[in-house]
Amino acid sequence: MSSPETIKKQIVDALSHPEAEDGLYFNNLIVVHEEEERPIVAGDEREVRAALDQLKRDGKIEVVGEGETAIFQLRR
């Protein structure tokens, strides 16, 4: 179990990676395939969703779409 602050930092790091310039789906935050270089977010689904909600409230990220097709991006 990672701290909420650690998870939020990992999310920002993942969304800052060049592979995420167009944003990432939720599953791409928690699953990184072997050929991908961006950092993984270490937390269970509930923890990562809570951190995403907090980052959204803080105005650091934006969400395009909703549900399974929602894309998370750093606020520009």
Total count of domains within the chain: 1
Q: Which domain holds residue 12?
A: 4-74
Count of residues for the chain?
76
Residue 44: CB atoms within 10 Å: 12
Give the HSE-up count for residue 45: Cα atoms under 13 Å, Cβ half-sphere.
3
Q: Per residue in 4-34, pLDDT tens? A: 999 999 999 999 999 899 999 999 888 877 7
For residues 55 and 71, give the distance between their C-alpha atoms in angstroms, rounded to a whole number. Answer: 14
pLDDT for the residue 1: 67
Strands 71-74 and 24-25: antiparallel
Query: How far is residue 29 from each of residues 43, 46, 56, measured CA to CA in Å?
Result: 10, 13, 15
CATH number of the structural domain spanning residue 23: 1.10.10
- Of 39 and 14, the one with more pLDDT: 14
Lowest mean pLDDT among 17-21, 33-37, 42-46, 51-55: 33-37
